[in-house]
Structures are given as structure tokens and as C-alpha cells.
């Protein structure tokens, strides 16, 4: 008998499985709406011109390949912090912000999970929205936290269940940890309004809940990085201690470079030092120190006023293309005379559209129309282009009427 004879076959990743199926489809006009990465209007991956420029500059500098420290490239983490919190944030000006580079957003979530499992002094349960990014549960459970959910999305109205959300956050055990998507909620594309964020903050204050922000799409949601950071900054203003996972995968298109940061707003500079020492103890046995190249690209961009402005313009360009595709898709469905309301396509924000399609309709799209998406009805808007939007609308119309 072999050593691993008892290893059971695990289920395939739901999203990667879609891409595999898409690849084997020979129909020329097939459409992949599963990918969680930006595509241009030709359906191609997009390397931002600001990233290309930064890479050219880095090559010319002929930098060495020495190890970064355990918490990464200092120029990068400093700039990542100001991007998220703003340079005027009191967490930064009062020197209370601990930040470490991470292996993109996933790694930041994991560092946070590991740290909180060791040091959060109250119940070790984190509440995540229902639904949430499929990996949240796995990351936090593997970190040693218990994962439960709070109401977020109302299937009937295809919008935010604000009453259910506030109700749940007021009735879960005091001092629980709560995961919040800072903007562009994945998979629903449904975000609270600024006023609703204020209500959420109020309830969380009252119930002494601890916020864990996941910001994987800053700038990508509205096209404005400051606007997308509203919730995070508001919570800091309201004197919450909190943690944040940041990713540069989407907003800089640095997916495979794995650039991110984990930060913690502490109560004092002295507390920040102690937290920093423990974060290093979490990171060291995981991967010793993070890769430098992507962090150098990001800091080259954010550290240069002109290049930074160019980058923010390019982020807006990506957000605007997605917003334009939302309008086109909705318009096309309405033109076909669909009897349903498709207003949610344009009211939702970010990379994804939670279409309200049933698993059966998703299967019909796949097998009858060669349109591929996850069975929860999540459409990656990045896969929609001016060339395929008409056929996409016709296919959706065909399976829903
Ligand atoms: N959080 C959310 C909500 C996401 O959608 C993603 C990317 N799909 C991530 C975190 C992390 O992605 P990455 O590790 O590539 O930065």
C-alpha cells in the first residue's frame, strides 16, 4: 500500500473549474464571465502603462536582489498606508499604524487571521457577510478562527439587506470580530451607502464589535481611490481599533506579483511596537519575508507624483469601462423587451454583477450558449466587451424569458 493511499480526492475550485470548461469549448464566440481579473475591450489581460513605466525604471536602476525585512519594503508599506488611510489619517500622524507587506490580499487576510487567533482577547469567532468571497471561510478557519455569517444580501430585492445586517450585528455576541468588504463587495457588487456605513459603525460601536476590513478593490469600484476608502477612513475617525487587508492585484493589475499589505490601527505608538513584534513572529515561519519586485513597482508608482496621477487615471479607466459595460448590458436586455428588471446591473459596483440568475439558468447559458459563469449567477463584468455584449444579452434573455 502506498503512503498516501488514504488521501481523498478534494473538490475542484469552483471558479478555476469554469475556466477549464471554457478552454475546452470550441465555439468561436464563447464568453468567459468567470475570471476575477480585468480584461480590456478586446478581452485581453491589461498591463497598466504606469506599471510598464515603473518596471522600465526599475530595470535601469539595476537594484540588487537582497532579502527585504520580515515586514517587507518600507517605502512600499508607507505608501500603501497613505493610499488606504490618507496621509492626514490620525492613525498615521499619531504613529499608531502597524503595517506589513503581505502576499497580496489573501496573505494579508491570513496574517490577520493568525494574529487575531493568537492575540484577540475575546471570542475567536469572525462573522463574514452572507454571501462572501469563497476563500474567506477557508483562510480564517485555517488560521484557527471560528467562522459564522451575518445577513448581507437580499435575494428577493437583489440588494443590500440593511435591516437584516444591522439586526445581526446588534445581536451577535459582544466584542465579536466582523469582516467588512471596504468596497466592491465580492460576489454581489452591492455596497452600503455612506449613510448605511454610518449606521453600521454605530451598531458596531454599541456592540463593541471589532472590524476587519478587506479592501481588494480600492479605486476599482468607483474609479476614485479616496471615495472607495470612505468606510475604512470613517471607522478610523470614529476611533475604532481595526485591521485591514489590502491588495494591489486589481487596482494595479499586479495579480501574479502578489502585492498587498496588512495593517492594524493600534491605540498608541508603544502598542504598535509590540504588535509589530508579534506580526514578525507570525510571518517568519510562514515565508520569512515577502518578494520585492512587485512592491518596488507599486512604490515606484505611488512615490512619484506624476506616475501616481497617471496610475489613478488608469484605475479610473478600468472602472469606467466596467461601468460602461454594465449600462450596455442592461440597455441590451431592455431593448430585447425583457420582462424583468435589470436595474441592479447598473446599481452594483466593482468587478462583479450578482445577476439573480438561478443555477439552472446558468447551466443553460453554459450548455446552450457557451457563456460561462459560476452557478451563483455571478457575472465578472471584466469579461464583457463591446463585441460580445449583444450576444450575451440575447443569451441571458433566452434563458430568462
Ligand atoms: N478579498 C476579496 C474580496 C477578493 O475578491 C480578493 C480577490 N479575488 C482577495 C481578497 C484577494 O486576492 P489577492 O490575494 O489576489 O490579492
Q: ipTM of this model?
A: 0.99
Closest CA to 211 of 233, 184, 185: 233
Taking the alpha carbons at both ends of the chain, their separation in whole angstroms is 55
DSSP-derived letter for residue 382 is G
How close is the Cα of 106 to the center of ligand 1, in Å? 6
Q: Helix (H) and strand (E) counts for the chain?
A: 16, 13
Q: Given a cut of 90, is residue 184 above it in pLDDT?
A: yes
Give the percent of the chain with pLDDT over 70: 100
> Taking a C-beta distance cutoff of 8 angstroms, is the pair 266, 275 a contact?
yes
The CA distances from residue 268 to 60, 93, 214, in Å, are: 41, 11, 23
Over residues 378-401, the mean pLDDT reads 96
Q: How confident is the model at residue 149 (pLDDT cuts 50, 70, 90)?
A: very high
Residue nearest to atom 13 of ligand 1 (CA): 105
State the catalytic residues.
Answer: 133, 214, 250
Q: Given a cut of 80, is residue 104 above it in pLDDT?
A: yes
Q: What is the pLDDT of residue 322?
A: 95
Q: What's the mean per-residue pLDDT of the chain?
A: 96
How close is the Cα of 66 to the center of ligand 1, in Å? 28
The atom number, within ligand 1, closest to the CA of 133 reads 3
Cell of 196: 448605511
- For the stretch 288-336, pLDDT in tens is 999 999 999 999 999 999 999 999 999 999 999 999 999 999 999 999 9
Closest CA to 231 of 167, 178, 183: 183
> Taking a C-beta distance cutoff of 8 angstroms, is the pair 68, 290 a contact?
yes
DSSP-derived letter for residue 261 is E
Residue nearest to atom 1 of ligand 1 (CA): 216
How close is the Cα of 253 to the center of ligand 1, in Å? 12
φ, ψ of residue 247 to 5 degrees: the values are -130, 140
- For the stretch 267-300, pLDDT in tens is 999 999 999 999 999 999 999 999 999 999 999 9
Over residues 25-39, the mean pLDDT reads 93
Q: Does residue 188 have its Cβ closer than 6 Å to ligand 1?
A: no
φ, ψ of residue 228 to 5 degrees: the values are -70, -20
Q: Given a cut of 80, is residue 14 above it in pLDDT?
A: no
Over residues 180-189, the mean pLDDT reads 96
The CA distances from residue 270 to 263, 277, 279, 345, in Å, are: 16, 11, 15, 47
| Furthest-apart CA atoms within the chain: distance in Å | 64
- For the stretch 33-58, pLDDT in tens is 998 899 999 999 999 999 999 999 99
> Taking a C-beta distance cutoff of 8 angstroms, is the pair 250, 220 a contact?
yes
DSSP H or E stretch at residue 341? none
| Three-class DSSP category at 35 | coil
Three-class DSSP labels, 60-81: HHCCCCCCCECCECHHHHHHHH
The CA distances from residue 312 to 82, 251, 305, in Å, are: 14, 9, 11
Integer Rg of the chain from CA: 21
The Cβ of residue 206 has, within 10 Å, a number of other Cβ atoms equal to: 11
Cell of 183: 468596497
Q: Given a cut of 90, is residue 204 above it in pLDDT?
A: yes
Q: How confident is the model at residue 1 (pLDDT cuts 50, 70, 90)?
A: confident
Cell of 86: 490618507
Q: What is the pLDDT of residue 244?
A: 98
- For residue 71, how far is the Cα from the chain centroid? 21
DSSP-derived letter for residue 4 is T
Over residues 360-367, the mean pLDDT reads 96
> Taking a C-beta distance cutoff of 8 angstroms, is the pair 187, 224 a contact?
no
Q: How confident is the model at residue 381 (pLDDT cuts 50, 70, 90)?
A: very high
Q: Does residue 248 have its Cβ closer than 6 Å to ligand 1?
A: no
Q: Given a cut of 80, is residue 71 above it in pLDDT?
A: yes
Amino acid at each position: 500500500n502506498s503512503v498516501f493511499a488514504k488521501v481523498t480526492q478534494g473538490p475542484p475550485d469552483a471558479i478555476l473549474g469554469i475556466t477549464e470548461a471554457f478552454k475546452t469549448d470550441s465555439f468561436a464566440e464563447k464568453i468567459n464571465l468567470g475570471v476575477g481579473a480585468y480584461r480590456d475591450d478586446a478581452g485581453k489581460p491589461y498591463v497598466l502603462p504606469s506599471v510598464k513605466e515603473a518596471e522600465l525604471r526599475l530595470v535601469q536602476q539595476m537594484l540588487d536582489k537582497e532579502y527585504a525585512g520580515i515586514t517587507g519594503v518600507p517605502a512600499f508599506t508607507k505608501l500603501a498606508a497613505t493610499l488606504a488611510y490618507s496621509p492626514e489619517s490620525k492613525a498615521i500622524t499619531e504613529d499608531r499604524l502597524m503595517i506589513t507587506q503581505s502576499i497580496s490580499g489573501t496573505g494579508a487576510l491570513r496574517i490577520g487571521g493568525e494574529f487575531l487567533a493568537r492575540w484577540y482577547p475575546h471570542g475567536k469567532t469572525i462573522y463574514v457577510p452572507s454571501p462572501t468571497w469563497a476563500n474567506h471561510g477557508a483562510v480564517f478557519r485555517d488560521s484557527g478562527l471560528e467562522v459564522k455569517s451575518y445577513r448581507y444580501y437580499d435575494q428577493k430585492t437583489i440588494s443590500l439587506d440593511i435591516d437584516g445586517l444591522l439586526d445581526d450585528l446588534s445581536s451577535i455576541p459582544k466584542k465579536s470580530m466582523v469582516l467588512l468588504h471596504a468596497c466592491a463587495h465580492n460576489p454581489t457588487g452591492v455596497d452600503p451607502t455612506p449613510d448605511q456605513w454610518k449606521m453600521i459603525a454605530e451598531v458596531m460601536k454599541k456592540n463593541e464589535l471589532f472590524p476587519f476590513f478587506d479592501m481588494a478593490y480600492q479605486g476599482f469600484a468607483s474609479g476614485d481611490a479616496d471615495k472607495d476608502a470612505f468606510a475604512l477612513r470613517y471607522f478610523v475617525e470614529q476611533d475604532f481599533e481595526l485591521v485591514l487587508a489590502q491588495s494591489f492585484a486589481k487596482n494595479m493589475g499586479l495579480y501574479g506579483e502578489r502585492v498587498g499589505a496588512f495593517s492594524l490601527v493600534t491605540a498608541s505608538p508603544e502598542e504598535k511596537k509590540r504588535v509589530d513584534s508579534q506580526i514578525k513572529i507570525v510571518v517568519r515561519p510562514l515565508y520569512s519575508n515577502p518578494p520585492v519586485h512587485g512592491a518596488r513597482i507599486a512604490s515606484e508608482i505611488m512615490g512619484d507624483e506624476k506616475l501616481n496621477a497617471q496610475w489613478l487615471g488608469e484605475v479610473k479607466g478600468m472602472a469606467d469601462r466596467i461601468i460602461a459595460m454594465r449600462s450596455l448590458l442592461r440597455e441590451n436586455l431592455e431593448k430585447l423587451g425583457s420582462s424583468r428588471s435589470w436595474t441592479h446591473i447598473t446599481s452594483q459596483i466593482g468587478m462583479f454583477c450578482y445577476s439573480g440568475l438561478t443555477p439552472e439558468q446558468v447551466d443553460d447559458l453554459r450548455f446552450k450558449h457557451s457563456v460561462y459563469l459560476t452557478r451563483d449567477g455571478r457575472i465578472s463584468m471584466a469579461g464583457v466587451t463591446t463585441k460580445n455584449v449583444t450576444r450575451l444579452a440575447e443569451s441571458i434573455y433566452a434563458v430568462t424569458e
